[in-house]
Copies of this chain bind each other. A is one copy, B any other.
Amino acid sequence: MLDPKASSTIRPEAVIVVTGSELVRGDLADENGPFLAASLARLGLVCRRITIVGDDPGLLESAIAEGLGADLCVISGGLGPTHDDRTIELLGKVAGRELHVDPELERAIDLVGRRYARNVGSAYHGYRAGVRKQASIPEGAHVLGLAGTAPGVALEYEGCAVVVLPGPPSELQGLWPAALASEPVQKVLVGVPPFQRRTLRFYGLSESALANALEQAGGEGGGITVTICARERELFADLFVELGAEARADELESALAAAGPDTLFARDERPIEVIVLDLARAQDLTVATAESCTGGLVAGRLTSVPGASDVFLGSVVAYANGVKEAALGVSEQMLAEHGAVSAECALELALGARRALAVDVAVSVTGIAGPDGGTAEKPVGLVYLCAAGPDGQIEQEIRFAGGRNQIRRYAAVAALHLLRRFLAQIGDS
């Protein structure tokens, strides 16, 4: 991480304030703090803290006041039309700015509200007060646009760029580019000393093996900070390289890559599903999935990518054995002999998906996600995968630890990585 003490240069500091009663009650895990923190780190800022408070005005006010001491303060949530949405009011109070109704904003919110009322078939008159409230912004604030009926705003306060964004993660993420482009935030960003970020991504390498390689190569320092972090079973090594430290960075990068050359799969941050689609597209190959324990998660990830449809044709989620047989032609005899969680079944699922969905390459997953259904021989967490193509297939057996949803998520990641490896092999041959 860009630790200002380890750096020869001083980096702007950010504070993230997240508000939402459901968050301090534990009904929902905050996604905005991690999203914003990751984005700010990539931009070269240091995040001092993430503060999560409910809708108690006193606590929110003091969290905002504390945030205004940083170079950048991003506040999420509390922008709704109801009485307990107080972020704008409290920001105005802390920053000593009167609120005023922005007429253009009022019209825009009004329009969204009317459309919504029409869609859900409810009367609109009840929305008026909420519209005025949501169109009220502090003097000097820049409007970043609307997400739903909530506006994002940015303003400058005594050398601090303050950004206020709606709480729903998709709305916050939708307005974030506009926040970064706003004048107050741009003033902070131009002050970030230049740096490079280099990323190495491994799948199938242990965190300690990579940490050892880093240590033996002399570790960080000299204008380079290295973070090693496991995310969804991928291992990320990020090098933050200050101006002038590029040669040393080349050395370190080679040493880290050498820790697991077969497991190094990317030097950028494209999600694995994007990498898979790009590999298939480059070879003009179509792709499908046949999923049992992952229940559609692999297909869900592949179709999350815009434009996936030129490569990804479809999937059969074959949860019941009857569906495995009817939709994918898996043989009853094989199921009776080996069971649905077996290498044999994974193979038939992949071959069946190639045939039934008429694709070049299909990947299959079958396993025991638990919590029940495990045996001594086939414990919870056992997963079989197969990727099949025009000239053969590759298979994999893995045992994952963890709860049902972790096993499912990890199995989906494993399927995408098997597909990547298979597509890369086809490309190399």
- A-B contact list, 23 entries, CB within 8 Å: A1-B25, A1-B55, A3-B56, A24-B50, A25-B227, A26-B33, A26-B47, A27-B41, A80-B207, A84-B228, A122-B206, A126-B209, A126-B212, A147-B402, A170-B405, A291-B296, A296-B298, A308-B319, A313-B319, A313-B322, A314-B323, A322-B358, A326-B356
Give the interface of A toward B (CB within 8 A).
Answer: 1, 3, 5, 20-31, 33-41, 47-56, 59, 63, 80-84, 113, 116-117, 119-120, 122, 126-127, 130, 147-148, 168, 170-171, 173-174, 204-209, 211-212, 215, 219, 227-231, 236, 288-289, 291, 293-300, 302-304, 306-309, 312-320, 322-323, 326-327, 356-358, 370-372, 398-399, 401-406, 408-409
CB-based contact A357/B323 at 8 Å: yes
- Given contacts A120-B204, A295-B308, A315-B315, list 10 more A-B pairs with CB under 8 A: A25-B37, A26-B37, A49-B54, A51-B51, A126-B212, A174-B406, A295-B303, A315-B316, A315-B317, A326-B356
For residue A22, which residues in chain B have a CB less than 8 angstroms away from its CB?
227, 229, 231, 236
Least Cβ distance of A294 to chain B in Å? 8
CB-based contact A405/B53 at 8 Å: no
Complex Cα distance, B357 from A230, in Å, reads 39
When the two chains form the complex, which single residue of B3, B30, B205, B319 contacts A303, counting CB atoms closer than 8 Å? B319
For residue A31, which residues in chain B have a CB less than 8 angstroms away from its CB?
29
For residue A303, which residues in chain B have a CB less than 8 angstroms away from its CB?
293-296, 317, 319, 408
Q: Which of A1, A38, A326 has the most CB of B within 10 A?
A: A1
For residue A27, which residues in chain B have a CB less than 8 angstroms away from its CB?
38, 41, 227, 229, 231, 236
CB-based contact A306/B231 at 8 Å: no
In chain B, what residue has the closest Cβ to A33? B52
CB-based contact B371/A356 at 8 Å: no
CB-based contact B295/A299 at 8 Å: yes
Q: Which of A49, A82, A307 has the most CB of B within 10 A?
A: A49
In chain B, what residue has the closest Cβ to A134? B208
CB-based contact B313/A320 at 8 Å: yes
Least Cβ distance of A68 to chain B in Å? 16
* Identical chains in the assembly: 2
CB-based contact B327/A320 at 8 Å: no
In chain B, what residue has the closest Cβ to A25? B41
Q: A25-B1, A49-B24, A408-B304 are in contact. Are A211 and B83 (CB under 8 A)?
A: yes
Complex Cα distance, B398 from A291, in Å, reads 29
CB-based contact A23/B37 at 8 Å: yes
CB-based contact B54/A1 at 8 Å: yes
Complex Cα distance, B409 from A295, in Å, reads 16
When the two chains form the complex, which single residue of B50, B296, B371, B406 contacts A296, counting CB atoms closer than 8 Å? B296
CB-based contact A148/B227 at 8 Å: no
Q: A1-B54, A371-B306, A408-B304 are in contact. Are A319 and B312 (CB under 8 A)?
A: yes
CB-based contact B207/A82 at 8 Å: yes
CB-based contact A54/B63 at 8 Å: no
Complex Cα distance, B203 from A161, in Å, reads 37
Complex Cα distance, B408 from A115, in Å, reads 20
CB-based contact B229/A20 at 8 Å: yes
Complex Cα distance, B168 from A207, in Å, reads 14
CB-based contact B23/A357 at 8 Å: no
Least Cβ distance of A188 to chain B in Å? 17
